[in-house]
Amino acid sequence: MIERKENCPLHDRNTFGMKVKCRLLLELDSPQDLLSLDMESLPKPVFVMGGGSNLLFLGDFPGTVIHPSFKSLSIQESPSGYPEGTVLVKVGAGIVFDDFCGWAADKGLWGAENLSLIPGEAGASAVQNIGAYGVEAKDIIETVHVFDKNTRTFSDIPCGECAYGYRTSNFKTVWKGRFIVTAVTFRLSRVPAPKLDYGGVRSALAERYPSEEELTPSMIRETVISIRRKKLPDPSETGSAGSFFCNPVISREHFLSILEKERAEKGADYMVPHYDVGDMVKVPAAWMIEQCGFKGVRHGGAQVYPKQPLVIVNSTGDALPSEILELERRVISSVNERYGIVLHPEVEHVGSVPSET
Ligand code: EPU
């Protein structure tokens, strides 16, 4: 069934809480609905939205927003050709990703626990390759089930063909606009596989469970949730789109020049936080934003979140898209001036800023 809403307010459908509207919203509850949609006749542009947790609407959206609200979930135990203990779970694109993580942990299935509490829906997890605490969606994605808007057919794309990278995939680049994700099959396992090496997880786990009981996915899920709650805004209180910027990866030479400059200012022992990525170095954008003095800085209703400066929040609930954009511009320009690095927003900007006339 397709539910149509004209001039639909979107403020409770984007986690940033931008008070914008779209000309038409279509809520689809089954993949078959896609076959009955005449895309050509819809107000343009057409935008497919999941949980609205990684977007910034720049103004009222003049076209159609399609929300695939597909909520089916099916399980295949011990599929042939897979290691013992494997369980394949096909998750409808409209299922809230964290509900899936909670369901998997409750069933004692390993794989999704480090991804707990990431906002958004399952469909978007496969587009964006969400990640946290040393795990990315691609590590557990088996197949992405899609509807091809060009050929009006359904197909299954194996993980290996999606060109997954850091917060990116073919769905965001060469296939942009072509497919609508209908479901994602995740590969979980009954065989314990705790991933604790990402900074902070092991020690937070030891604090919560000092007795070294046998680990369960629920124990790791609860630990990850507690870490996230300490650093990130509570979505029920403060609007945001999670990390606003991607962490930049720079050459080792560039990193060493930054280190040298910082040491000249802060002392010879100072260490710039970083992670090696092959020959390159990833420097946390949060650190650079903090060094540039942006922690807690406000512009109108927009604010750089004091506890995690990688996040921009709608601190008053009434922030305008233009205020978020201005803060974004100031952060990018200061970081570039100080470190010679242009930060790229992780958050997708949708539509355009209304002209002032
Ligand atoms: N840091 C600072 N100052 C701060 C906060 C952090 O200097 O105020 C530095 C610290 O050195 C810290 C480092 O930044 O060690 C990295 O911080 P953190 O581990 O919190 O992760 P992140 O790089 O800021 C990424 C993801 C998050 C994910 C976390 C945990 C991106 C863009 N963001 O953030 O994802 O939860 O790692 O794995 O990669 C999201 O995508 O919305 C999201 C929240």
301 and 315 Cβ atoms separated by less than 8 Å: yes
290 lines ligand 1 (CB under 6 A): yes
243 classed as catalytic: yes
In the chain, the DSSP E strands lie at 2-9, 21-28, 46-48, 55-57, 61-68, 73-77, 86-92, 131-132, 135-136, 141-148, 153-158, 179-189, 239-243, 249-251, 275-277, 280-282, 298-299, 302-304, 311-314, 348-350
Among 135, 195, 310, residue to substitute to test ligand 1 (most atoms within 8 Å of Cβ): 310
Whether 336 shows a pLDDT value over 80: the answer reads yes
Q: What is the pLDDT of residue 356?
A: 63
* Closest among 200, 243, 230 to 114, alpha carbons compared: 200
Distance CA 267, CA 117 (A): 38
Domain ranges of the chain: 2-68, 73-231, 239-350
167 classed as catalytic: yes
Report the atom number in ligand 1 closest to the C-alpha of 307.
8
Q: Whose CA is nearest to atom 43 of ligand 1?
A: 243
17 and 55 Cβ atoms separated by less than 8 Å: no
Q: Whole-model pTM?
A: 0.94
As given in the structure block, the two tokens for residue 289 are 């934003």
Residue type, 183: A
57 lines ligand 1 (CB under 6 A): no
Q: Over the stretch 280-335, which tens digit does the pLDDT of each residue have?
A: 999 999 999 999 999 999 999 999 999 999 999 999 999 999 999 999 999 999 99
Report the atom number in ligand 1 closest to the C-alpha of 291.
7
Whether 210 shows a pLDDT value over 90: the answer reads no
Segment 101-125 mean pLDDT: 97
For residue 102, how far is the Cα from the chain centroid?
17
69 lines ligand 1 (CB under 6 A): no
Q: What is the pLDDT of residue 355?
A: 77
In sequence order, the 6+-apart residues with CB closer than 8 A to the CB of 256 are none
Q: Whose CA is nearest to atom 26 of ligand 1?
A: 132
Q: Over the stretch 261-274, which tens digit does the pLDDT of each residue have?
A: 999 999 999 999 99
Residue 324: phi and psi, rounded to 5, are -65, -45
Report the atom number in ligand 1 closest to the C-alpha of 198.
38
- Which residue among 243, 315, 323, 334 is the active-site one? 243
Distance CA 24, CA 39 (A): 12
Query: Cis omega (within 30 of 0) on the bond before 309?
Result: no
CA of 109 to the centre of ligand 1 (A): 26
In sequence order, the 6+-apart residues with CB closer than 8 A to the CB of 185 are 88, 89, 90, 91, 141, 142, 143, 144, 145
92 lines ligand 1 (CB under 6 A): no
Q: Whose CA is nearest to atom 19 of ligand 1?
A: 199
310 lines ligand 1 (CB under 6 A): yes
Q: Whose CA is nearest to atom 28 of ligand 1?
A: 132
As given in the structure block, the two tokens for residue 284 are 């946390």
* CATH pick for 2-68 out of 3.40.50.300, 3.30.43.10, 3.30.70.20, 3.40.50.970: 3.30.43.10
CA of 232 to the centre of ligand 1 (A): 10
Fold that domain 73-231 belongs to in CATH: 3.30.465
Report the atom number in ligand 1 closest to the C-alpha of 309.
8
Fold that domain 239-350 belongs to in CATH: 3.90.78
What value does the mean pLDDT of the chain take? 96
Give the range among 48-57, 184-193, 199-208, 279-288 with minimum mean pLDDT: 199-208
Distance CA 178, CA 147 (A): 8
147 lines ligand 1 (CB under 6 A): no
In sequence order, the 6+-apart residues with CB closer than 8 A to the CB of 141 are 126, 159, 162, 164, 184, 185, 186, 187
Q: Over the stretch 9-65, which tens digit does the pLDDT of each residue have?
A: 999 999 999 999 999 999 999 999 999 999 899 999 999 999 999 999 999 999 999
Q: What is the pLDDT of residue 235?
A: 87
